[in-house]
Amino acid sequence: MQDNIQIYTLHTLVDITPTGVTRGLDGLQRNQQRNWETVLQAVGLVTQPITLIEPHRTEVDVKWCEFGEFYEGVHQVWGWRFAIEHADVFVRNNNDVGILEELFEQVPVICGLEETARFILPIFYPYGAIKNIHFIKNT
């Protein structure tokens, strides 16, 4: 089984802070947790992720990231590293993360939390000028 373990990293401009707050209708921590739950549910449509490094926030000049050209300057970026136990489950058309990109295309998010980027639409978008989520298959 260990031969099939693959590791991925997700970077996003969307606040996906895992707070553990699951009760209450509103509030910063509840909404951060909702975005985190959305990430887990989207990945979980294909496989069960194993968290290696909890989502964490870093301030980064996005010119060094693979986000869309709509975003410039220094922004808060969340990173999450996870493993899966099924080889190449996210491969589509020779793209190691093609299915991950499809899973997250236009998935709704809650904005106005602790992110510094402003989004045209309140969605994850993995392509083009408004790309706000990026996936890497670690080798």
Read off the pLDDT of residues 65-104 as tens digits, 9 standing for 90 and up.
999 999 999 999 999 999 999 899 999 999 999 999 999 9
Mean pLDDT for the chain overall: 95
Identify the pLDDT of residue 49: 97
What's the whole-number mean pLDDT along residues 11-38? 95
25 falls in which pLDDT band (50, 70, 90)?
Answer: confident
Tell me the C-alpha to C-alpha distance, in Å, between residue 52 and each of 39, 61, 95, 97. 15, 25, 23, 18
CA-wise closest residue to 135 among 88, 87, 84, 98: 98
What's the whole-number mean pLDDT along residues 19-39? 94
Which amino acid does the sequence have at 39? V
